[in-house]
Amino acid sequence: MWRWVRQQLGFDPPHQSDTRTIYIANRFPQYGLYTPQKFIDNRIISSKYTVWNFVPKNLFEQFRRVANFYFLIIFLVQLMIDTPTSPITSGLPLFFVITVTAIKQGYEDWLRHNSDNEVNGAPVYVVRSGGLVKTRSKNIRVGDIVRVAKDEIFPADLVLLSSDRLDGSCHVTTASLDGETNLKTHVAVPETAVLQTVANLDTLIAVIECQQPEADLYRFMGRMKITQQMEEIVRPLGPESLLLRGARLKNTKEIFGVAVYTGMETKMALNYKSKSQKRSAVEKSMNTFLIIYLIILISEAIISTILKYTWQAEEKWDEPWYNQKTEHQRNSSKILKFISDFLAFLVLYNFIIPISLYVTVEMQKFLGSFFIGWDLDLYHEESDQKAQVNTSDLNEELGQVEYVFTDKTGTLTENEMQFRECSINGIKYQEINGRLVSEGPTPDSSEGNLSYLSSLSHLNNLSHLATSSSFRTSPENETELIKEHDLFFKAVSLCHTVQISSVQTDGIGDGPWQTNLAPSQLEYYASSPDEKALVEAAARFGIVFIGNSGETMEVKTLGKLERYKLLHILEFDSDRRRMSVIVQAPSGEKLLFVKGAESSVLPECIGGEIEKTRIHVDEFALKGLRTLCMAYREFTPKEYEEIDRRLFEARTALQQREEKLADVFQFIEKDLVLVGATAVEDKLQDKVRETIEALRMAGIKVWVLTGDKHETAVSVSLSCGHFHRTMNILELINQTSDSECAEKLRQLARRITEDHVIQHGLVVDGTSLSLALREHEKLFMEVCKNCSAVMCCRMAPLQKAKVIRLIKISPEKPITLAVGDGANDVSMIQEAHVGIGIMGKEGRQAARNSDYAIARFKFLSKLLFVHGHFYYIRIATLVQYFFYKNVCFITPQFLYQFYCLFSQQTLYDSVYLTLYNICFTSLPILIYSLLEQHIDPHVLQNKPTLYRDISKNRQLSMKTFLYWTILGFSHAFIFFFGSYFLIGKDTSLLGNGQMFGNWTFGTLVFTVMLITVTVKMALETHFWTWINHLVTWGSILFYFVFSLFYGGILWPFLSSQNMYFVFIQLLSSGSAWFAIILMVVTCLFLDIVKKVFDRQFHPTNIEKAQMYSNTVAFSDEFIALQPLSRARNQLSKLSLLKQIQVSSAWTPCAVSQKEKQRAHLLEECWNE
């Protein structure tokens, strides 16, 4: 009974079977016992909080921080026992920290809610009650029939029922899921394919039985039971029937599909990794330092408590005449008294733990993140997109990256293929302004740059493909040369699986080899972007693929329409690395056209210019172009009959079908005649090669993780500089068993160890990776770490995340960054320490779920080398400085207890205790952490090696931490004992002969300390603006004004007036002024000497760069991060630079003396 109640309330969901039963259109059976399965709704949730759980969940996460939890305990202690300071001194800062952090995190989650609402509220059309009903995406239920129109995104995982095509097929692109931009064909079962209207679908009675949701994008098993005329028909369902959420409908007017998986059970959502709270390495260091300081605090409290009782062991100190105990105090438990004293000392020294550190860090991260969005260098003008910051908690992590994992399609490339060059019968051509131009002289002309195809205008008619022996030899005249070109481009136009959106043939190709007609009038869709680029190129040169009409392929050549009957398609596979078509020409010949990689086509050729073409292919590859070879073969009637019979037997075999097809394909694709080769450029994004090279120089390892095919991915890796031509490329692909994979890994490891000179690159496919990660993680990691570059292809989204996790948990614990642009990249973006979304052509899923979003991959260099470097240096200094100034603050309090019998008397007034971190010392370090530029940004971006100097959290190493801590203790000793020996026993300080009291002494120590820590911050500042001057010197001035005001008036609401006239009395003493100046100079003198010595004799790379950048080149990088006034000043100088040409005429062009000085400076900077 209780279990049933819990199930009804949703706390204990009922046991799910391995399959789900879906009644199409939710037509449940009217008879018999039926218990409907419950399915979730279609809402997508990427947010972290709800209205109900925000407060408890956020508080829980915040109190996981050591400092927050510590101050909560201190606050409770102050409430429970009598302590030297008020509970407000701890409670108010704690409340402020919690509130500011909650507001910031709540705002960021509110943005995620808005993004989810936009997706869930998208309009969709659902078939209900015999008609189309418009509703919202979140209202789709499992079993609903959904209509999707052309170019719309599927709102759920749908099983295709019908389309506007008679065969029930449709084309989709899954770029946002697996990164592939090619077109995929999906088909409906024959019984539902004919139901193309809402009225017909309303008569459908069918049930789908399929597996429960799983993350594998390429796996789906089910069956459909269709009831027609009282007869039940069962049809199998596979991946070809499933339309995935996030994919886009292409080349099809509309489709109808039934929802089988919805909401967070769709394959796209299952490939999302749950969003977890990311914590930076700096925050982890902060927690470590806090624990160390907590140990120091507890040690000081224990020492003080023990010494107090040791001192009070003597009766005269236990109960002096001026401080008699009450009866209750005499009879109280000594153990409880000891604990109470320990807690009191804990409260007295608790300011050594800087809670305001977290406030300042939160404000620095939040305010500092705006600089990324404001940086014009990260603005992409073409798409009108600026950089976005979705999570400001990881700004400094941008300066610690050691591994970059990047998607390929849409991240490194533009998703645009362009035909560049080709080789036809041993002659190399390139496309220039739409014309095919040969690079060298042809047999009939001595002119090199002659467009042979322009000479075709005299031809009125080209017959079908000639197959005489003359085609197998070099052309002897112009007509034969033209036939060679015709044959080559016929092969290009026929050997493919390209589809056409709309056919408008009027005027296409009417003139010979026209270049300005076909591309604008035909819209091609292809299973490979290479195929699309090649067919478009052939159309530009006059042989236009018009489309498929049933089993007929139509090609228009110079205005003449030719129809070829498509007999067979020999599909591409990664083993053969080629594809073929068998067609029947208009005159009846049976022809085989083959297209594939040179390594798989050239060995099968027996004719054509094989060696010349091989040389051309190598030349194309050296340019980073993607190459394919074209060949053909003519069949005799008897040969074709044999081929047709063997193909039919292999394709209908129930067992070993793949092996039999491979044998038949090999039998067919032999004795070929080579006609040429193509070279296509997969257009890279601007400055991708330079960015990857800069990342390498910065000591960052780059991995490419893509869902693309092996050959495509390797080709792009070579063209973008990820793989070098001199690299030895190792391959771990097509592994089928654990033992085979292990043996291959051992072979690769041996090859790497035996060769110490050549750089190695590793290529891994998804299947082999699964085997490697299952049993051989260590061996796989050993191979990867010894490779200069790694490329993983055919990766499922969750596999990408697993690879990153494998690197994250390795012994070195490196900081990882993932870059991607599609929904298939969301898992790896969320798994990495830092996730970067590219706002590209594959939707906004990656950008919405990332920590940072940029428009182009090239912006990554400035994001890391400039912003990351600055953020890390700023926050590292902020953290160290906070601990330093709090050690300076509390150590004199501890030393003072030795002179007051450990009576827990405070050295400072309670107002000073409260305001020290909140007002007096907060602004200089905050402004420093926002505006500091210790090196010119231009230098940082052009010297990526400087990034190595801050890697591995070096600025927050234990050595640096100890230096700042010891510095703080030494300064504190100078403050206290300097004040004590200079002033404490001198009776001539005041004109009336009075000595200083304890409040005057404490105020003197506080004044020296405040000036010292503020000037110390000034010494750390390299980049001075008017804001820095205002807050630095303004903080000291504010302290003096406040102290005069606070101590010069009797405040009626204060219970004690300890500070009345104290500060005024202190400043009236010349000796006090001398002591202040002497102690400040003493504290900072050694620090200055150390800095000068280190810079002159042991300069770091950063210090060398600082000296190098003393003369600054005025550039956008320099301006982007500066305050408004200075940016305006630099912009005026930049304007002058644009007006004056970069030449020796700079100085004469200047009119005034001031302009001449500027021009001299600009010329020096430019030459530098």
Q: Which residues make Cβ contacts (< 8 Å) with residue 144, sequence separation at least 6?
A: 25, 26, 126, 127, 128, 258, 259
Q: Are 412 and 857 in contact (CB under 8 A)?
A: yes
In single-letter form, the type of residue at position 300 comes to E
473-508 CB burial, b ≥16 within 10 A, e <16 = eebeebebbbbbbbbbbbbbbbbbbbbbeeeebeeb
Query: Which residue blocks in 38-182 are alpha helix, DSSP H?
Result: 54-62, 66-80, 88-120, 175-178
Whether residue 236 contacts residue 226, with contact meaning beta carbons closer than 8 Å, is answered with no
Which tokens go with 711? 């050959």
Long-range own/partner contacts, residues 1080-1086 (CB < 8 A, 24 or more apart): 1080/1008, 1080/1011, 1080/1012, 1080/1015, 1082/974, 1082/978, 1083/970, 1083/971, 1083/974, 1083/975, 1083/1012, 1083/1016, 1084/1012, 1084/1015, 1084/1016, 1084/1019
DSSP code at position 380: B
Query: What is the DSSP pairing of strand 169-173 with strand 248-250?
Result: antiparallel
Beta strands in 349-402, from DSSP E residues, in sequence order? 388-389
Per-residue CA distances from 777 to 772, 781, 827 (Å): 6, 6, 20
Q: What's phi and psi for 786, nearest 5 deg?
A: -90, 5
From residue 240, give the alpha-carbon distance in Å to each of 44, 183, 219, 1091, 1135: 25, 13, 10, 69, 59
Rounded Cα distance between 433 and 604, Å, is 35
Strand ranges inside 433-522, DSSP E: 435-438, 499-500
Q: What is the H or E stretch that residue 739 is in? A: helix 738-754
Nearest to 875 by CA among 929, 923, 924, 927: 929
DSSP state of 38: P
| 394, amino acid identity | L
Q: Is the Cα torsion angle 416, 419, 421, 425 positive or negative in sign? A: positive
**Residue 73: partners with Cβ closer than 8 Å, 6 or more residues away:** none
Give the count of beta carbons closer than 10 Å to the beta carbon of residue 537: 24
In this structure, what DSSP letter does residue 918 have? Answer: I
Q: Of 1136, 409, 391, nearest to 833 (Cα)?
A: 391
Residue 60 CA from chain centroid, whole number: 28
Going by C-beta distance under 8 Å and a sequence separation of 6 or more, which residues neighbour residue 626?
A: 417, 530, 679, 680, 681, 682, 712, 715, 719
* CB 525 within 8 Å of CB 250: yes
Residue 592: strand, helix, or coil: strand
* Helical (H) or strand (E) element with 922: helix 922-931
Closest CA to 1014 of 926, 955, 1093: 926
644 is catalytic: no
User: Which residue carries 């995190």 as its tokens?
Assistant: 105
SS3 content of the chain, % helix, strand, coil (to 5): 50, 20, 30
Which of 144, 341, 407, 936 is an active site residue? 407
Integer Cα distance of 846 and 268 in angstroms: 12
Distance CA 994, CA 997 (A): 9
Residues with a known catalytic role? 407
